[in-house]
Every structure is written in C-alpha cells, then in structure tokens.
Structure 1
Amino acid sequence: MPANPKYLTQSKWQRFAKITAAILGGYLVSISFHLAVGSWFNKANTIITMAFSAFILWVALMILAFLAKNGWKIWLVYLTLSLLFLAVSYIGPNYNPAVK
C-alpha cells in the first residue's frame, strides 16, 4: 500500500536537506559525541563502546531527521550539537589531563 501523498515532503530542497541531515549530520553528531566522551574518559573503552553505540545513535538521529518538519532546522540542530561536542572534546584534555 503506497504512502498517502499529503504526508510526504513536497519540496525537493526539504527532501534533500532531510536526507543529507540524516546521513551526514547524524554521523557528525554521533562521532563528535564519542570524541567528547573519549576526551573525558578512557579512550580505549570509548573506542570499544563506540563500535556499537555510535551506530545505534546514528540510526536514531536518522529517524529523528525524517520526523522533523523542516530539514534546514534539523541541520542547524545537528551542526550546533556537533560544534558543542567538538568544543567539549577540545576542552577535555585541558581540564582532565589524566586521561591518555
């Protein structure tokens, strides 16, 4: 049974924004999150955990991107989260030098 057209995104730009936010934006957020966690905790444990949790987080962020009404707003949210996590990963070694 095909989807009802009134629930589908009509704009090609919105569709493009949602698809790219789901794939690229979700990946950026999940990797930057694990980099931030790795800068505060043991890097070896974080890498082992990242092998599974990064994929689960990426899929959840993909679903969230397609549930959003506006693709550009979800891009803004994903870029803001990525920059926040990257700032945390940059600050982490300065305030927590014990983690190698």
Structure 2
Amino acid sequence: MPANPKYLTQSKWQRFAKITAAILGGYFVSVTFHLALASWFDRANILITMAFSGFILWVALMVVAFLAKNGWKIWMVYIFISLLFSLLIYLGQIYNSTAQ
C-alpha cells in the first residue's frame, strides 16, 4: 500500500535537507557525543561501547530527522548539538591534559 501523497515532502530541497541531516548530521552528533564522553571518562571503554551504542544513536537521530517538519531546522539543531559536544571535547582535553 503506497503512502498518502499529502503526507510526503513535496519540496526537493526539503527532501535533500532531511536525507543529508539524517545521514550526515546524525552521524556527526553520534560521533561527537561519544568522543565527548571519551574525553571525560575512560577512553577505551567508551570507544569500544561506541561500536554498538553509536549505531543505535545514529539510527534514532535518522528517525528524528525524517519526523521533523523542516529539514533545515533539524540541520541547525544537529550542527548546534555537534558544536556543543565539540566544545565539551575541547574542554575535556584541556582539563585532562593539565590534570596529569
């Protein structure tokens, strides 16, 4: 049974934004989240766990991107979250390098 066309995204740009946000944006958020955890906690355990939990988080973020009304807004949210996690990575590396 095909999908009802009124629920599908009509704009090609919105479809492009949702697909790229789902694949790339979700991946960036997933990786930066786990790297931020690795910069503050035991690096080896976090990176081993990332093999499984990273994929699960990535898939969940893909679903969120396709549920969003506006693909560009979800891109901005994913970029903001990735920058926030990148800041946590930076702070964790500075704090842990001076603590040793």
TM-score (norm: length of structure 1): 0.95
Q: Which runs of 5+ in 2 are unaligned?
A: none
Q: CA deviation at 1:12?
A: 0.3
SS in 2 for 1:10: coil
Q: How does 1:64-79 map to 2 (within 5 A)?
A: 64-79=64-79
Q: Moved runs in structure 1, 4+ residues, more than 6 A?
A: none
Residues 42, 99 of structure 1: 8 Å contact kept: no
Give the number of equivalent residue pairs. Answer: 100
1:28 aligns to 2:43 (yes or no): no
Give the Cα–Cα distance (whole angstroms) in 2 for the partners of residues 5 and 71 of structure 1.
18
Aligned identity (percent) is 73
Letter in 2 for 1:41: F
Higher helix content, 1 or 2: 2
Structure 1 unaligned regions, length at least 5:
none
The root-mean-square deviation of aligned C-alpha atoms, in Å, is 1.6
Q: Which string of whole-angstrom CA distances, capped at 9 and with x for unpartnered residues, describes residues 45-94 of structure 1?
A: 01111010000000000000000000000000000000000110000022
Query: TM-score, normalized by length of structure 2?
Result: 0.95
